[in-house]
Amino acid sequence: MLLLDYQNVLIQSVLTERFSGAPPVSIDQTVSDFDGVTFHISTPEAKTRIMVSLQIRCFQELLRYGAEDVLNREYGPYVVAPEPGYDFSIVVDLENLPADKEARDELVKKISLLKRNAMAGPFEQAYQEHYHLKAEAAKFTSEEAPQGVREGGAVKAIHYREEEAIYVKASHDRVTVIFSTIFREETDRVFGKVFIQEFVDARRRAIQNAPQVLFRNDPPLELQGVPGVKNTGTGEIGYVTFVLFPRHLTPQRMPDVISHIQTFRDYFHYHIKASKAYIHSRMRRRTADFLQVLRRARPDNEEKERKTASGRTFKVGS
Amino acid sequence: MANQTPAVVMDNGTGFSKLGFAGNDSPSFVFPTAIATKGPTAGASGSGSGRPAVANKPSFLTGGAGPTGHLSMKRGTEDLDFFIGDEAISAASGPGYGLHYPIRHGQVENWDHMERFWSNSIFKYLRVEPEDHHFLLTEPPLNPPENRENTAEIFFESFNCAGLYIAVQAVLALAASWTSSKVTDRSLTGTVIDSGDGVTHVIPVAEGYVIGSSIKSIPIAGRDITYFVQSLLRDRGEPDSSLKTAQEIKEEYCYVSPDIVNEFAKYDRDRSRFMKHVVAQPGGRQVTVDVGYERFLAPEIFFNPEIYSSDFLTPLPVVVDGVIQSSPIDVRRGLYKNIVLSGGSTLYKDFGRRLQRDIKQLVDARIRQSEVRSGGAKSGGLEVQVITHKRQRHGPWFGGSLLGQTPEFRSYCHTKAEYQEYGPGIVRRFALLGGPGGS
């Protein structure tokens, strides 16, 4: 498994089972996802009406950046008033499902992507801004472009974790996505550095089409003046910048790019942990080898005389 | 906010792993504890124990090219090329992948595989960032402390989990029984009868501590019942006597009868007790299998093992009685009063009732004898109670879910900081969760 899935496997499996015509049962499950997202699958009113609720840290920010449009577009007819304690809820009526199987699978897929779609709002908005700015910029040559066009749109900050945030900024020729990352563990920071270096170098080596990746320990220039960005000067927080070029910004590529970039942090952490597992496996292997050498080095049992209680001697060993 | 994340409860058994979040009433995922990796199966490598085969010569003597093609020789992303659970089973049926079971007899045998199994269960199935969650793991009784330390090393060093608690399955099964209406005081004293697929354990627990010297295991469990049903079907010459059919019949029709002789007579009087089981065979054909006496005979092998096995002849009630009699005298009353069932093979209808009756008979007979011997002294009697409850199937997991959602759970966990301060030895001891002074 190189890439993480975008959808929530549990929601997918629960709904697939329910939609396949199994007898309705009451469900009440709390499910976690990455980044402190909590889902609640329940059947509050009747066994045939499944409610899926989402709770996400940065929902207010997401709403400000157009998450509502995306969610309404994706889940239009299913949206209901959010369950208390949660930010967004949809209800699916089992008696009112699409008739053919493909449409049902489509619906399951869509619901299991709830978190992805909620987070997609700011990115989609940035895309729209980029298209708009591009059209504006086309009217001018690069020198005489007015201030607003050259600078690009405002920075959208999504504080999706307590200490970490994603910043999205659109300009006329690119969209910049900046992740602030923080590591609680010294070891992880070292691993993380190696990983990000690989990302930075990837473009130089083989993959010309990859977005440009930059890594630094102080806030990049794009984030100057954004509230909440502090330059601690200690280098604890790393900033990973992805620069998406027009190649990545076509409407056809949009859904994929958004899905990929959202899972970056989890992907990153998953691979740090997987490499640790790999190193552990090599360490165990090496220990087993050393133990074998030790076992071999043990001298064979020498013949020695032993005495019985009555004083007679006999020989032991071969 | 981050403190509100539910704890992750993982019960990795020999056959199946139960994963989920504390507070839910059923595990989110139940799948085989199996991992499919590139290369031959464990069986093909000849070791059979699931350990990584040790090369004949250390790798640095053979120039680094060991004959086994072990993972540590690989330099690419081979270490990520594996599947777990149901996907592993289907991947292993194709070419290129070998299936491994990292847990044998309840204990982790292959830590390489287990580490990757955990990694995938956390990131792919549960989708949690281990740094944000506390983890509650289970271990079998009599797990060596070294295994605990290995587990802690993996969870703290690899996954940086926020906190770790390792609980004994039997204790969790006791906690799960608190949902039963028969249980009035939430004590952690009782006898757990844990019957899974491979083996049945009878485990006495006093105040949350397992009395290790008194544990007994019985080599009769779910798989044997299935085999027994299958042999009965074969004897009758039914059109379909596959293991799968036998298992379906076992799960659907079997129950425990109070008395076999009466039950035979009842069946002969009333033909409606014979059932028909329809099996859909591959190719769309349907055959009907008669279901007869095996409905009550199959679970009967717990109570009269001689009808199935010629090696093991002690009935389950006698074993339970023996276990309690070998425990310290001051806890025996509590052990008799709280006999808790756990595991899939205890789900037969009236299993608990029959067990309770049989144990009661044994106990009463003994009391009468000693009354006679003592010459006129009267005993106040002894209460025997077998608890059946709705969460028996995933008993240990449910107990973990119950305890993992309590507010004080986090304070019982060991954190990474403590681990780094004291080393892996810290997990040899855990404060007793849900014990006296708890909820």
Distance of alpha carbon A119 from alpha carbon A54, whole angstroms? 12
Which of A201, A140, A197 is closest to A173 using CA atoms? A140
Query: Is residue B423 within 8 Å of residue B414, measured between CB atoms?
Result: no
Distance of alpha carbon A169 from alpha carbon A60, whole angstroms? 18
Residue B132: pLDDT band by 50, 70, 90 thresholds?
confident
| Residues sharing a CB contact under 8 Å with residue A6, sequence separation 6 or more, in sequence order | A113, A116, A259, A262, A263
- A vs B: CB pairs below 8 A: 121
Distance of alpha carbon B49 from alpha carbon B357, whole angstroms? 41
Burial (CB < 10 A; 0-12, 13-18, 19+), residue B67, is: exposed
User: Is A285 in contact with B70 (Cβ distance < 8 A)?
Assistant: yes
The percentage of chain B sitting over the pLDDT mark of 70, rounded to a whole number, equals 89
ipTM of predicted assembly, 2 dp: 0.85
Bridge partners, B421 (sequence order) = none
Residue A266 structure tokens: 């989890």
Residue corresponding to tokens 């399955």: B169
Per-residue pLDDT, A220: 82
Residue corresponding to tokens 């003592």: B374
Question: What secondary structure does DSSP assign to A160-220, as a single string?
Answer: -SSS--EEEEE-SS-EEEEEEEE-SSHHHHHHHHHHHHHHHHHHHHT-TTSPEEEEESS--
Residue B84 structure tokens: 């777990």
Residue B253 structure tokens: 């029709």
User: Is B127 in contact with A32 (Cβ distance < 8 A)?
Assistant: yes
CA angle A6, A11, A13 (to 5 degrees): 100
Q: A208 CA to chain B: closest CA distance, Å?
A: 21
Q: Is the pLDDT of residue B339 over 90?
A: yes
Which residue in chain B has the smallest CA separation from A287? B58
Which residue in chain A has the smallest CA separation from B114? A277
A3 touches chain B (CB under 8 A): no
- Best to test chain A binding among B19, B25, B28 (most A CBs inside 10 Å): B28
User: Is B127 in contact with A277 (Cβ distance < 8 A)?
Assistant: no
Query: Is residue B187 within 8 Å of residue B156, measured between CB atoms?
Result: no
Residue B403 structure tokens: 């305890």
Q: Which residues of A touch B133 (CB under 8 A)?
A: 32
Residue A15 structure tokens: 């709904």
Q: What is the pLDDT of residues B190-236, one digit of tens each?
A: 999 998 887 899 999 998 889 989 999 888 888 889 999 999 999 98
Residue B357: pLDDT band by 50, 70, 90 thresholds?
very high
- Best to test chain A binding among B127, B156, B394 (most A CBs inside 10 Å): B127
Q: Is the pLDDT of residue B318 over 90?
A: yes
User: Is A270 in contact with B112 (Cβ distance < 8 A)?
Assistant: no
Q: Is the pLDDT of residue B56 over 50?
A: no
User: Is A274 in contact with B80 (Cβ distance < 8 A)?
Assistant: yes
- A47-56, A239-248, B60-69, B355-364: range with lowest mean pLDDT: B60-69
Distance of alpha carbon B136 from alpha carbon A3, whole angstroms? 27
| Residues sharing a CB contact under 8 Å with residue B351, sequence separation 6 or more, in sequence order | B256, B299, B302, B341, B388
Per-residue pLDDT, B230: 92
**In the sheet that A49-55 helps form, which strands lie side by side, from edge to edge?**
A28-32, A38-42, A49-55, A88-93, A79-80
SS3 (DSSP) at A116: helix
Which residue in chain B has the smallest CA separation from A276? B158
A139 touches chain B (CB under 8 A): no
Q: What are phi and psi of A271, to 5 degrees?
A: -75, -30
Pairing type for strands B35-38 and B200-206 reads unpaired
Q: How many CA atoms lie within 13 A of A77 on its CB side?
A: 6
Per-residue pLDDT, B42: 43
Q: Is the pLDDT of residue B329 over 70?
A: yes
Distance of alpha carbon B266 from alpha carbon B293, whole angstroms? 11
Q: How many residues does chain A have?
A: 318
The arithmetic mean of pLDDT across residues A287-313, rounded, is 82
Q: Is the pLDDT of residue A185 over 90?
A: no
Residue B408 structure tokens: 């004080």
B5 touches chain A (CB under 8 A): yes
Distance of alpha carbon B291 from alpha carbon B298, whole angstroms? 11
Q: What is the pLDDT of residues A145-180, one digit of tens each?
A: 666 566 667 888 888 888 888 888 888 888 889 998
Distance of alpha carbon B162 from alpha carbon B172, whole angstroms? 21
Distance of alpha carbon B18 from alpha carbon B398, whole angstroms? 10
Residue A306, amino acid? R
From the list A188, A270, A276, which residue is nearest B123 (CB)?
A270
Residue A212: pLDDT band by 50, 70, 90 thresholds?
confident
Q: Which residues of A touch B154 (CB under 8 A)?
A: 277, 280
Query: Is residue B190 within 8 Å of residue B334, measured between CB atoms?
Result: yes
Residue B436 structure tokens: 């006296």
Sign of CA dihedral B126, B128, B130, B133: negative
Residue B18: pLDDT band by 50, 70, 90 thresholds?
very high
A163 touches chain B (CB under 8 A): no
Per-residue pLDDT, B44: 38
User: Is B58 in contact with A293 (Cβ distance < 8 A)?
Assistant: yes
From the list A9, A161, A286, which residue is nearest B127 (CB)?
A9
Burial (CB < 10 A; 0-12, 13-18, 19+), residue A178, is: buried
Helix H, strand E, coil C: the string for chain B is CHHHCCCEEEEECCCEEEEEECCCCCCCEEEECCEEEECCCCCCCCCCCCCCCCCCCCCCCCCCCCCCCCHHHCCCCHHHCEEEHHHHHHHHHCCCEEEECCEECCEECCHHHHHHHHHHHHHHHHCCCHHHCEEEEEECCCCCHHHHHHHHHHHHHHCCCCEEEEEEHHHHHHHHHHHCCCCCCCCCCEEEEEECCCCEEEEEEECCEECHHHCEEECCCHHHHHHHHHHHHHHHCCCCCCHHHHHHHHHHHCECCCCHHHHHHHHHHCHHHCEEEEEECCCCCEEEEEECCHHHHHHHCCCCHHHCCCCCCCCHHHHHHHHHHCCCHHHHHHHHHCEEEECHHHCCECHHHHHHHHHHHHHHHHHHHHHHHHCCCCCCCCCCCEECCCCCCCHHHHHHHHHHCCCCHHHHCEEHHHHHHHCHHHHHCCCCCCCCCCC
- Alpha carbon B69 to chain centroid, angstroms: 34
Which of B380, B6, B398, B328 is closest to B174 using CA atoms? B398
User: CA–CA distance from B366 to each of B214, B316, B362, B369 (Å)?
Assistant: 20, 17, 6, 5
Q: A64 CA to chain B: closest CA distance, Å?
A: 21
Q: Is the pLDDT of residue A69 over 50?
A: yes
The percentage of chain A sitting over the pLDDT mark of 70, rounded to a whole number, equals 92
- A41-50, B70-79, B260-269: range with lowest mean pLDDT: B70-79
Residue B74: pLDDT band by 50, 70, 90 thresholds?
low
Which residue in chain A has the smallest CA separation from B23? A30
Bridge partners, A33 (sequence order) = none
Q: A61 CA to chain B: closest CA distance, Å?
A: 16
| Residues sharing a CB contact under 8 Å with residue B225, sequence separation 6 or more, in sequence order | B250, B254, B298, B299, B301, B345
B131 touches chain A (CB under 8 A): yes
From the list A29, A273, A276, which residue is nearest B28 (CB)?
A29
Q: B436 CA to chain A: closest CA distance, Å?
A: 29
The arithmetic mean of pLDDT across residues B383-405, rounded, is 90
Distance of alpha carbon A91 from alpha carbon A41, whole angstroms? 10
Q: B414 CA to chain A: closest CA distance, Å?
A: 17
Going by the DSSP 8-state scheme, the letter that residue A317 receives in this structure is -
Residue B119: pLDDT band by 50, 70, 90 thresholds?
very high
Which of B22, B148, B68 is closest to B410 using CA atoms? B22
Which of B247, B164, B111 is closest to B424 using CA atoms? B164
Tell which A residues from 30 to 49 touch B, by Cβ distance under 8 Å. 30-36, 38
Which residue in chain B has the smallest CA separation from A34? B128
The arithmetic mean of pLDDT across residues A8-35, rounded, is 83
- Alpha carbon B384 to chain centroid, angstroms: 24
User: Is B123 in contact with A273 (Cβ distance < 8 A)?
Assistant: yes
Distance of alpha carbon B93 from alpha carbon B36, whole angstroms? 10
Per-residue pLDDT, B400: 92
Query: Is residue B232 within 8 Å of residue B327, measured between CB atoms?
Result: no
Q: B55 CA to chain A: closest CA distance, Å?
A: 8
Q: Is the pLDDT of residue A232 over 70?
A: no
- Best to test chain B binding among A184, A289, A293, A295 (most B CBs inside 10 Å): A289
Residue A236 structure tokens: 């604890």
Residue corresponding to tokens 């029959």: B354
Burial (CB < 10 A; 0-12, 13-18, 19+), residue A5, is: middle
User: Is A28 in contact with B25 (Cβ distance < 8 A)?
Assistant: yes
Q: Is the pLDDT of residue B303 over 90?
A: yes
Query: Is residue B28 within 8 Å of residue B15, measured between CB atoms?
Result: no
Residue A144, amino acid? E
Residue A16, amino acid? T
B67 touches chain A (CB under 8 A): no
